[in-house]
Copies of this chain bind each other. A is one copy, B any other.
Amino acid sequence: MARDIPDATVARLPIYRLSLVDLMADGAETVSSAALAERAGVNAAKVRKDLSFLGTYGVRGVGYDVKLLLGQIGDALGLDVVAPVVIVGMGNLGQALARYGGFLSRGFPIVALVDASAEKVGSEVDGITVSHIDELPELVRDLEIAIGIIATPSSAAQEVADVLVEAGVGSILSFAPTVLQVPDSVPLRKVDLATELQILGYYQQREAGPETDADKSA
């Protein structure tokens, strides 16, 4: 079992996974690093280096077995372990995420929805009844929730993050446009539309930008 994969590589594994799923749908049984690189939008050396962190599964002169590689990436990402998700904040974005999340591959089931407003509590979104935010700690414990998604206004985000951490959530994904303070032991990732637009604005200004990477995150 491969441990301690560089952050930059981890951020690319889901992209390789996506490409491999497509390849498998196309009936491919093996794939070369060059072909995978093309699909994933990176260069071949990077693909080989990245995959080498998972252990070695390529066959020289042939390439990688698509199915096997998919399994290896899934193992590395821990996709075999189900990680229940709660979405906090049932505004436009939270509701959209709840419905959108329904399409997510098995592994990240949305098991609870939470909001602070009396109007929303009790209503159903995508088949799940919205609970009051005061019940969050209880929900996290009872449903063994691993990931908390914050889709509240900025003003409430830190408070929600504190509750999630306190309740024992394993990691947090925030859509609130604010910086959150959480213990180092809780992985936190942030997605913010305004930030993304501003970054694009910079590159646009001076014609010709880089070619993405996102992940930039880790």
Interface of chain A, helix or strand or loop or mixed?
mixed
Are A99 and B92 in contact (CB-based, < 8 A)? yes
* A contact residues, range: 35 or more
In the complex, the answer to whether A204 meets B190 with C-beta atoms within 8 Å is: no
Given A83-B204, A201-B79, A215-B213, do A41 and B179 touch, yes or no (CB 8 Å)? yes
Query: Which residues of the other chain, B, contact A177 by a CB distance below 8 angstroms?
Result: 18
Q: Which residues of B contact A105 (CB under 8 A)?
A: 194
Instruction: Give the contacts of A181-218 with B (CB-CB under 8 A).
Output: 181, 184-218
Question: Is A104 part of the contact surface with B, judged by Cβ < 8 Å?
Answer: yes
Which stretch, A2-10, A58-66, A128-136, touches the partner chain B?
A2-10
Query: Which residue of chain B is the closest to A190 with respect to CB atoms?
Result: B214
- Interchain CB contact (< 8 A) of A96 among B96, B184, B201, B210: B96
Binding site for B on A (CB under 8 A): 3, 5, 7-8, 10-11, 13-15, 17-19, 39-41, 76-79, 81, 83, 85, 92-93, 95-97, 99-101, 104-105, 107-108, 146-147, 170-173, 177-181, 184-218
